[in-house]
Structure 1
Amino acid sequence: MHSFFNKFITRNNSLIQFVKQYDNCLGSREQAERESDAADFHTVIPCATKSSIEAQFQDVYTHQKFREVQAQFRGKANCITRLTNFALGYSVYEVGEQVFSSIFNKFVVTYDSVAAEVKCQCLLFESRGILCCHALSVLSFERVSQVSPRYILKRWNNKVKEVTHTHIKRSHDEPLLEPRSKRFDQLVFCSQNICKFTSESEELTAILHRAYDNVMVEMESLKAKRKGTSFLSHEDANLESVNELQSPPRI
């Protein structure tokens, strides 16, 4: 708990000071998450090995999670894999992981080539959501070039746009933001379906662009009448929306 409020809360703070600093702490952490997301979008961590499976994780995972995955790929170099049983596409391996010069920890790993499923006795994937070095060693032994999508968890996908969680209701949000968050969620759901449909062809995409331009003109006209502000162009409206979604919270 103390590490969560690091630099904001000390043991000598009063309850009133805690309440005041609470929003500042959450806002600071949100800003750090935004900066981390930006790094995930615009930079790439080099692969530590020549494995195509590592490249598969590199393409989709956030930097933080990919570093954890890379540690397992490096650990694969310390593993010795031996096939102990095989029947109808189902293989059982014994993987020895060298922890000291002459000391090996042994793990049982099973691989189902039909279901493309690998399981290790250490249960690292079940506990932390990443494949262990023992399972990776078996996949390499089996000459598997791509892992099943079941081993790539969506919650660590670097292609999930920040706007999908920008308007999620939080405890430190103002109550007036809740209706807006609901409207935002509804619009995101509808727009995803529309984009999936229209992206199938250039003609449908062009129709959507024309409709979008017309709707933006109508909405900005209404917005200008209500607020008494000047009319915004299509490009200005887009820029204003992006800035509103991505600007850091004021602390």
Structure 2
Amino acid sequence: MMFIPFTGIDNHNRNVTLGAAILGSETAETYSWLLRAIKNAYGYAPPVIVTDQDPAMKRAIADVWPESRHRLCMWHIMDKLTTKVGAALCSNTDFRKRLSALVWTDSLLPEAFEAEWAAIIHDFGLTDHEWLTYIYGLRESWIPAYYREEEMSGLMRTSSRSESENHFFGKISNPKCTLVEFLSHFDTAIEAQRHEHRKNDHDTRYTNPGEWSDFVLEMQAAQIYTRTLFLDVQLEIQHAIHRCTSVRLDHVGDFIKFFIKDLDQPCSSFFEVMIREEDVTVKCICNRFEQFGLLCSHIFCVLRILDIREFPKQYILRRWTREAVPNSSPGSILTDGGDPDRSEEVNRCVREISHATEYVVNKLISKFDKLSDFRDHIKQFMSVADEAQINAPPKTRRNRFAELLGVAPESTATIRVPVGTRFKGCGSHKRLKSQKERAISQSGSKRRQCSLCKKYGHNRVTCWKYTVAGTEAGSSRNAGGNEDTIREGDAAMVVQGDGPGSNDDDDVF
């Protein structure tokens, strides 16, 4: 059966498993069922999803998640460039360099991309190339120029996060595991992932990052964002201070247009930043905020020129902040006599208490006297909690036995025996290698040389000359009653069973 994890990005810009499934086949109907289950669990479909060029998955996403933007992995497409176009063209010319610079950049508009693509195709005489024409027809599904306004698309160009997640699960499991063993290993992997998230939360809350400047927005950003995201924002602020300068400005209605020169950019054009001072509405043509959810260095340069003293709240995405994920999620603690309508308020209060307790303990860890006073205060309040305790009604006999035995409530779900189906990579502990990768790996290995015919790929036991000679000699000696004929005849039979291997690793579109 096939394991399919859904990978997302948490507020530390780290991989997080949003869900997972085990499927028995890779058909469009199976993927459609899975996508509907994920949508029912979360209540909505993700805005962007990145996959490879699997036709069944593409059809299922179009049918079940039509509102989602399906993006193809750029690495999988560009990795086929040498194979499809030819090694001579990619090695002896600057074709690959020019095409890669065009494909991977975020600064081009769709019109500029199409014009430059046409120029490259014309210069190298590839106007009628079938594969290049095909991927150009899919340009809105993988070229960054067509995702400039798509939120979060800048963080997901390739399926490398999914490959990293596969490696993560591969370290704690293998294809020979039973279903029960795999689920146990899966729980262990998820717990390790949650532990890493809690560690990042702890480092964010109780360690102070180094400040590189006296810019007031930098100090505010350190208290807003998680540690990983703050380091990115800090680099943009430093770039705005040392590498960006305002050339001129114009007034356009209520807005002020700044022309910012970025000294690190080789182009001679300027970055235009529009800002309205009344409500600090700002926009840059680089579209970094629209893609990543973080302000760019050009905007920070303008905010510093205008002496803005408060970080614009409308440009703080909650998903990058410290409080995007609660400090603890104990779940509902309501007893049977509690009010279920107030469960959300109770859980929020519990999270605030947990956060405050953890904060005080970490701050007073080196001050034993004050830490002891805090402990005494907590113990003193325990008597108040005992007096306010509400006795819950006794549990039924069935519930007590179910709790002791760990038996889940009865379910009406029907579990069927999975149908054995072979799919991509089945029966192998490693991923399938392309023809190019196999050729590269074999080029550096020492090949076997025959001591009789001096050719490569076999030895003297399996040599054709040896086999033919052995067969003839065996026939002549067989008439004379020589017993060595049996061994040489066996060698001839083994060689006759071998044949040249076939290569069927062509891509199908």
TM-score normalized by structure 1? Answer: 0.64
Report the counterpart of residue 216 of structure 1 in structure 2.
385
Which residue matches 2:188?
24
Gaps of 5+ in 1: 169-180, 194-208, 227-251
| 1:6 equivalent in alignment to 2:181 | no
1:154 shift after superposition:
2.5
**1:94 matches 2:263:** no
Structure with the larger RCO, 1 or 2 (CA within 8 Å, 6+ apart): 1
Partner of residue 231 from structure 2, selected from 60, 67, 74: 67
Partners of 1:213 and 1:89 lie apart in 2 by: 59
Compute the displacement of 1:220 (Å).
5.4
The aligned length equals: 194
Higher Cα Rg, which structure = 2
CA distance in 2, matches of 1:134, 1:32: 34
Aligned equivalent of 1:154:
318
**Conservation of the 8 A alpha-carbon contact between 1:125 and 1:132:** yes
**1:31-70 equivalence runs, <5 A:** 31-70=195-234
Superposition CA RMSD, Å: 3.5
What residue is the counterpart of 2:346 in the other structure? 187
Indicate the SS of the match to 1:4.
Answer: helix
Counterpart CA distance in 2 for 1:36 and 1:182 is: 33
Q: What do the CA deviations read for 1:80-127 (whole angstroms, capped 9, x no partner)? A: 212331156520011121226x65553111010112111111111111
CA contact (8 A) 2:275 2:282 kept: yes
User: Counterparts in 2 of 1:229-240, with a 5 A limit?
Assistant: none
What SS class does the counterpart of residue 304 from structure 2 fall into? helix
**SS of match in other structure, 2:214:** coil
Question: Greater CA deviation, 113-122 or 103-112?
Answer: 103-112
| Residue-by-residue CA offset, 1:23-59 (whole Å, 9 max, x unaligned) | 2211101000111111111101122222101111112
Distance 1:48-1:13 versus aligned 2 partners, 3 A rule = farther
Q: Secondary structure at the match of 1:94?
A: strand
Give how far 1:184 is off: 5.5
Q: Please give the TM-score of this superposition, normalised by the length of structure 2.
A: 0.34
Specify whether residues 111 and 27 from structure 1 end up closer, same or farther in structure 2 by C-alpha distance, changes over 3 A only: same
Structure 1, 16-25 or 67-76: larger mean CA deviation: 16-25
What do the CA deviations read for 1:198-240 (whole angstroms, capped 9, x no partner)? xxxxxxxxxxx9xx867721465748x98xxxxxxxxxxxxxx
> 1:174-211 deviations in whole A, cap 9, x for unaligned?
xxxxxxx9986452257799xxxxxxxxxxxxxxx9xx
Structure 2 CA distance for partners of 1:215 and 1:108, relative to 1, 3 Å: same
Aligned-residue sequence identity (percent) comes to 20
> What code does the residue aligned with 1:187 have?
V
How many Å separate the matches in 2 of 1:166 and 1:132?
A: 37
Secondary structure at the residue paired with 2:260?
Answer: strand
Q: Of the candidates 93, 98, 115, which is equivalent to residue 279 of structure 2? A: 115
